[in-house]
């Protein structure tokens, strides 16, 4: 019985997804990964399935963006509904829950890579597919590490249980299941590096025509800057930033275009963006728009949702009065008429509750590199990247140095990426407590890390739970 349960458990996955037309390349399409990966059309459809899991509510449909803000000091609950209240109160166990969906996607990706060596098709096609999958493996694994493990830059050794299990080979049948324990933090980061390096190699000669909704060499370099920054690998952060910024993917927006860029269907700064089709509406209760604002769009006069998570007074006060980014914060409607709401996700597609979601923007590359420069003592270069962000926002040039420079870079990260899913992750990698008006969650509190699903730990004696759960 345990064996049957385990196949459908969060760690070792079912390898089946719904069977649909193999000739379609729509990202929604998926196939039976066990025995149908025998043609380029099937391979493409299965790859689209790995992308499609990013649209789940537990992933970028809502939680990877909303929960890191709700757990942090950027957001407060509006009191208009019960969703995300436990997370806002930092209750034990109320955290990200991406284990199952991430390992489903990882297994699918591994199965496809395995199948690529077994079918007859062009090297160009194989390189493109594997390159995209290596990027996605890097993204899924890094998000798992951000949720369930300490970052290399800030570890509580007494509570450290390592990273997450590394599933390298796709599982087709029960006899291939291995009960993996948690790899070390170093091992997981090494594996993420390997995938992002391989992704760039395979995609280097490819086209950017499908960017930002599909992986490119530029997207892999962009993600690498984030991974390396979290790893405290500042030289690598700078190296990968140079590749990302010269890739032709993403366009840094001016002061005049900053607000309008958030109203466009595809954000022009996106290095990688999760795309939603018109019939993939997340819905009134769980979409990012409905979570963050009561407004349908800029012309709305009546509330169309609860607007559960609003801008905290601390975040609102962090913006200078002349900061263009403050114009994205509007007063709500209805019960939220006295609350400040973030309008970055504002039905940009023109369809209520349906927004494409930027995963990594070109602005992040500049701030990742600025922080890396600053931590290496390269003040002039750090100031240049920082001031690109500051002057675009309408602020004066900064001449800060040393620790004051680093703190200003971190401050700009907070106000630039507010309500984009960065804040609690940034505090965690810095080893800082979450300080809210009603409570403080010290960095060494067990709630800093997410709980591994209980049934995973019960079934797998090699898998160690995080402390406190």
Cβ–Cβ under 8 Å, residues 134 and 192: no
Provide the pairing of β-strand 357-361 with 270-274: antiparallel
pLDDT of residue 68: 98
pLDDT of residue 79: 87
1-85+94-180 maps to CATH 3.30.479.30: no
Task: Compute the average pLDDT of residues 31-53.
Answer: 84
pLDDT one-digit tens code per residue, 119-158 = 999 999 999 999 999 999 999 999 999 999 999 999 999 9
- Cα 72 to Cα 102: distance, rounded to the nearest angstrom: 23
Grade residue 66 by pLDDT with cuts at 50, 70 and 90. very high
Task: Compute the average pLDDT of residues 440-451.
Answer: 98
Q: In angstroms, how far is CA 409 from the centroid of its own chain?
A: 20
Worst-scoring range by mean pLDDT, 16-20, 42-46, 447-451, 454-458?
A: 16-20
Which residues lie below 8 Å from residue 84, measured CB to CB, with a gap of 6+? Answer: 66, 67, 70, 77, 291, 308, 309
Q: State yes or no: pLDDT of 56 exceeds 80.
A: yes
Q: State yes or no: pLDDT of 35 exceeds 90.
A: no
pLDDT of residue 5: 33
Q: State yes or no: pLDDT of 461 exceeds 90.
A: yes
pLDDT of residue 278: 67
DSSP conformational letter for 252: P
Where in the sequence of the chain do the CATH 1.25.40.390 domains occur? Answer: 1-85+94-180
- Cα 364 to Cα 359: distance, rounded to the nearest angstrom: 10
Q: 3-state secondary structure string, 271-314?
A: EEEECCCCCCCCCCCCCHHHHHCCCCCCCCCCCCCCCCEEECHH
pLDDT of residue 349: 64
- Cα 376 to Cα 18: distance, rounded to the nearest angstrom: 50
Determine what percent of the chain is predicted with pLDDT higher than 70.
90
pLDDT one-digit tens code per residue, 280-314 = 666 677 889 999 999 988 889 999 888 999 999 99
Task: Compute the average pLDDT of residues 178-197.
Answer: 97
Q: State yes or no: pLDDT of 13 exceeds 80.
A: no
- Cα 76 to Cα 89: distance, rounded to the nearest angstrom: 9
Compare 279 and 334 and report the one with higher pLDDT: 334
Dihedral of alpha carbons 15, 18, 24, 27, sign: negative
pLDDT of residue 80: 86
- Whole-model pTM: value is 0.93
pLDDT of residue 193: 99
Q: State yes or no: pLDDT of 17 exceeds 80.
A: no
pLDDT of residue 26: 37
Cβ–Cβ under 8 Å, residues 75 and 69: yes
Q: In angstroms, how far is CA 256 from the centroid of its own chain?
A: 27
pLDDT of residue 280: 66
Rounded to the nearest integer, the mean pLDDT of the chain is 91
pLDDT one-digit tens code per residue, 418-444 = 999 999 999 999 999 999 998 999 999
Task: Compute the average pLDDT of residues 313-338.
Answer: 97
pLDDT one-digit tens code per residue, 345-404 = 987 766 666 788 999 999 999 999 999 999 999 999 999 999 999 999 999 999 999 999
Nearest to 274 by CA among 109, 136, 96, 75: 136
Q: Is 131 left (phi over 0), alpha (psi -120 to 50) or beta?
A: alpha
pLDDT of residue 191: 98
Q: State yes or no: pLDDT of 22 exceeds 70.
A: no
Three-state DSSP at 144 gives helix
Token pair for residue 315? 């975040």
Grade residue 468 by pLDDT with cuts at 50, 70 and 90. very high
């Amino acid at each position: 019985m345990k064996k049957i349960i385990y196949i459908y458990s969060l760690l070792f996955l079912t390898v089946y997804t719904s069977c649909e037309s193999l000739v379609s390349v729509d990202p929604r399409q998926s196939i039976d990964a066990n025995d149908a990966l025998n043609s380029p059309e099937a391979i493409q459809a299965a790859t689209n399935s790995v992308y499609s899991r990013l649209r789940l509510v537990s992933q970028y449909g809502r939680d990877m963006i909303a929960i890191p803000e709700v757990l942090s000091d950027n957001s407060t609950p509006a009191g208009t509904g019960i969703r995300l209240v436990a997370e806002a109160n930092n209750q034990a166990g109320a955290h990200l829950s991406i284990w199952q969906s991430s390992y489903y996607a990882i297994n699918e990706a591994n199965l496809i890579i395995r199948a690529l060596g077994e079918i007859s098709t062009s090297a160009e096609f194989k390189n493109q597919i594997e390159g995209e999958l290596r990027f996605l493996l890097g993204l899924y694994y890094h998000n798992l590490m951000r949720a369930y493990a300490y970052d290399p830059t800030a570890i509580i050794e007494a509570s450290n249980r390592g990273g997450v299990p590394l599933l390298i080979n796709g599982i087709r049948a029960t006899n291939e299941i291995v009960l993996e324990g948690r790899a070390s933090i170093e091992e997981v980061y090494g594996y993420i590096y390997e995938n992002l390096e391989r992704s760039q190699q395979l995609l280097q000669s490819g086209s950017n025509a499908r960017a930002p909704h599909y992986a490119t060499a530029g997207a892999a370099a962009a993600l690498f800057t984030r991974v390396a920054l979290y790893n405290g690998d500042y030289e690598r952060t700078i190296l990968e930033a140079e590749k990302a910024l010269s890739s032709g993917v993403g366009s840094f927006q001016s002061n005049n275009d900053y607000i309008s860029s958030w109203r466009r269907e595809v954000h022009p700064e996106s290095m990688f963006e999760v795309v939603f089709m018109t019939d993939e509406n997340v819905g009134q209760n769980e979409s990012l728009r409905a979570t963050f604002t009561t407004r349908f769009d800029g012309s709305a006069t009546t509330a169309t949702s609860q607007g559960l998570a609003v801008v905290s007074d601390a975040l609102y006060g962090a913006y200078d009065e002349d900061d263009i980014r403050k114009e994205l914060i509007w007063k709500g409607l209805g019960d939220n008429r006295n609350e400040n709401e973030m309008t970055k996700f504002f039905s940009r597609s023109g369809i209520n509750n349906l927004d494409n979601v930027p995963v990594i923007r070109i602005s992040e590359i500049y701030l990742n590199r600025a922080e890396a420069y600053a931590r290496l003592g390269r003040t002039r270069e750090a100031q240049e990247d920082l001031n690109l962000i500051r002057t675009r926002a309408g602020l004066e040039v900064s001449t800060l140095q040393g620790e004051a420079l680093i703190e200003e870079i971190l401050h700009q990260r907070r106000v630039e990426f507010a309500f984009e899913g960065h804040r609690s992750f940034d505090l965690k990698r810095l080893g800082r407590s979450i300080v809210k008006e009603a409570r403080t969650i010290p960095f060494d509190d067990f709630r800093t890390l997410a709980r591994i699903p209980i049934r995973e730990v019960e079934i797998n004696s090699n898998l160690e739970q995080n402390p406190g759960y």
